[in-house]
């Protein structure tokens, strides 16, 4: 007879051990898997509000003061601003997650891995191999398909990989909430590198518009990675079918691509005769709404799955 082990800590368990589908658990980890850590939700919500307020304040101050930064100074300030979204999220998470703290080196490590994958694989694939900057804007259908099939899938797979092939199999990944936590960390790391690359490649950017773009990128990348993280957690702790993870990755990639298309559409106002003016405030509003709706949806899905576990049924 095959011996049973806990799917989290790999310790032997008896035949009467609690299960989710075919996954057996020790009593400790069965109790933890459905725990709803309010600290993660609070830190995510506070970060969302804080980033929007921060972006607005920086843009207003820059508009009022018109700082005369050029060259290296402008690039350095842009790079510092690119780091702010991840720093804000980590700071709020650190102070909120005090009762059952997640290992901070693991959270930071996943964020760094997300950034490294963006630099080493994501940006070269999208820009140097597929050259999307040369053809993505050639038509609406091309824009939609390219944004989803190239940009969306490349970015979301790499953020997925940053979690799946690092912390996913560790015993510290022991709650459904951990999927969203580590997914968000990978997304913020990826966004940080995208923003730094944007600043450096352009030799610095207008700080008022630049900070809005930086926050939009951070909110979007973190939100879509949180979706993938949810699917990862369900795959680890429940008996999901083989198509479950590809489904999660596809949903995240499609939303990523559609967001990119819609963002490009609403951020530009005016007619061709008016030469179109860039309106990043609309983009910031869209990103805030998308991040808020995604957070609310994930909260409902996690709590639904947790309730079913507590009452003896499998996940949602």
State the pLDDT at residue 101: 63
- Distance, CA of 113 to CA of 162 (rounded, Å): 6
At residue 303, the pLDDT reads 86
Count CB atoms within 10 A of the CB of residue 15.
8
3-state DSSP assignment of residue 249? helix
Per residue of the chain (316 residues), what is the pLDDT tens digit?
A: 457 887 787 788 877 788 777 777 787 877 777 777 777 777 788 889 999 999 999 889 888 888 878 888 889 998 999 999 999 988 877 776 655 566 788 999 999 999 999 999 999 999 999 999 899 988 899 999 999 999 999 999 999 999 999 999 888 888 888 899 999 999 999 999 999 999 998 888 778 888 899 999 999 999 999 999 999 999 988 888 899 999 999 999 999 999 999 998 886 654 333 444 557 788 899 999 999 999 999 989 988 888 877 776 544 4
Q: How far apart are CA 29 and CA 176, in angstroms?
A: 11
- pTM for this prediction: 0.90
Write out the H or E segment, with its range, that includes residue 107: helix 104-117
Looking at residue 13, the DSSP 8-state letter turns out to be: E
Greatest Cα-to-Cα distance within the chain, rounded to the nearest angstrom: 77
Per-residue pLDDT at 274:
40
Can you tell me which residue has the tokens 């060259």?
A: 71
Annotated domain spans of the chain: 1-33, 37-310
Q: Which residue has the tokens 């005369």?
A: 68
What region, left, alpha or beta, does residue 314 occupy, with left being phi > 0 and alpha being psi -120 to 50 degrees? beta
DSSP string, 180-204: HHHHHHHHHHHHHHHHHHHHHHTTS
pLDDT value of position 218: 95
Q: How many CA atoms lie within 13 A of 190 on its CB side?
A: 34
Alpha-carbon distances, residue 261 vs 143, 191, 266 (angstroms): 7, 17, 9
CB atoms within 10 A of CB 140: 10
């Amino acid at each position: 007879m095959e011996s049973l082990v806990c799917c989290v800590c790999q310790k032997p368990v008896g035949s009467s051990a609690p299960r989710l589908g075919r996954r057996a658990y020790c009593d400790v980890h069965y109790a933890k898997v459905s725990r709803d850590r309010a600290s993660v939700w609070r830190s995510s919500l506070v970060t969302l509000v804080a980033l929007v307020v921060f972006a607005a304040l920086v843009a207003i101050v820059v508009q009022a003061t018109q700082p005369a930064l050029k060259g290296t100074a402008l690039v350095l300030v842009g790079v510092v601003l690119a780091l702010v979204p991840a720093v804000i999220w980590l700071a709020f998470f650190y102070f909120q997650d005090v009762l059952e703290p997640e290992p901070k080196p693991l959270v930071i490590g996943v964020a760094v891995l997300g950034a490294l994958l963006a630099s080493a694989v994501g940006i070269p694939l999208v820009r140097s191999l597929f050259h999307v900057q040369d053809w993505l804007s050639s038509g609406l259908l091309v824009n939609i398909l390219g944004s989803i099939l190239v940009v969306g899938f490349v970015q979301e797979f790499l953020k997925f990989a940053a979690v799946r092939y690092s912390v996913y199999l560790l015993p510290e990944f022991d709650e459904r909430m951990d999927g969203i936590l580590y997914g968000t960390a990978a997304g913020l790391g990826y966004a940080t590198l995208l923003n730094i690359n944007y600043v450096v490649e352009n030799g610095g950017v207008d700080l008022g518009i630049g900070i809005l773009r930086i926050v939009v990128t951070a909110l979007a990348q973190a939100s879509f990675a949180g979706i993938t993280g949810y699917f990862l957690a369900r795959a680890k702790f429940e008996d999901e079918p083989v198509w479950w993870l590809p489904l999660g990755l596809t949903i995240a990639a499609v939303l990523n691509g559609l967001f990119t298309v819609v963002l490009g559409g609403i951020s530009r106002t005016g007619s061709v005769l008016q030469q179109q003016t860039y309106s990043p405030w609309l983009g910031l509003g869209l990103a805030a709404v998308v991040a808020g709706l995604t957070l609310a949806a994930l909260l409902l899905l996690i709590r639904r799955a947790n309730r079913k576990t507590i009452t003896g049924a499998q996940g949602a």
